[in-house]
Chains A and B, each alone.
Chain A
């Protein structure tokens, strides 16, 4: 059972544009939603994370929007740069179950100069 669904699978954006990646989850007990960035041959690196008590969190060019009633959350990358080209994963976890992360399938982002 896929508990976190991510879309799109791939995304091409022009430099300076906005990249938007969406995730939907099924388990209402999830209480932590991070986004990770992964470059080829590297481990995932945390970008930004949110808990369900807020609807939006912004860190630099990265923003998470969270809709608890719809069980959806999204990552917005403003002023996308070629260096942002990577694979992005959303994830979800429950603190009372050891914090294991359930990942989405990933979105391969390509930012064209």
Chain B
């Protein structure tokens, strides 16, 4: 499968714990995006990378959230001290800047904070 992959697909954690999600983009894509989707809503932009540089972070991304993309390949999104309000689907997308720039989404990681 050459699409965007995300792991884990599901995560259940207790309030206050830290969680980390991984996204592997389509191999030739230089842009990587993170979105958050809550039930019945459209995805909301969190942050994006061009290669290894994080170029924009949404106001939604509080200090408890951090994202990295070392070496411009896979990316990780960490949430520290999780809260119940963090429960959502976390989606990763990738695109090729300089080409069609279509964003291809992964299947998402569904987080439930108890």
Report which A residues bind B (CB closer than 8 A).
Answer: 6, 32, 34, 36, 41-46, 49, 89, 91, 95, 97-106
Q: B72-114: which have CB < 8 Å to A?
A: 91, 93, 95, 97, 101-108
Q: How far is the CB of A32 from chain B (nearest CB, A)?
A: 8
- Which residues in B have their C-beta under 8 angstroms from that of A105? 40-42
Q: Are A91's CB and B42's CB within 8 A?
A: yes
**Given A98-B56, A99-B95, is A46 in contact with B104 using a C-beta cutoff of 8 Å?**
yes
Say whether A104 contacts B42, CB under 8 Å.
yes
The answer for the CA separation of A104 and B37 in the assembled complex, in Å, is 12
Residues of B near any A CB (own CB < 8 A): 4, 31, 33, 35, 40-45, 48, 50, 55-56, 91, 93, 95, 97, 101-108
Given known A98-B55, A99-B95, A100-B56, contact A89–B106 (CB-CB < 8 A): no
A46 to B40, CA, bound (A): 19
- Contact status B103-A46, CB under 8 Å: yes
A-B CB proximity, top 7 nearest: A103-B42, A43-B105, A100-B45, A44-B105, A43-B107, A89-B42, A43-B108
For B91, list chain A residues within 8 Å (CB).
43-44
CB-based contact B107/A42 at 8 Å: yes
Most buried by B among A46, A91, A100, A106: A100
Let me know if A89 and B43 touch, CB within 8 A. Answer: yes
Q: Tell me which residues across on chain A come within 8 A of B43, comparing CB atoms.
A: 44, 89, 101, 103
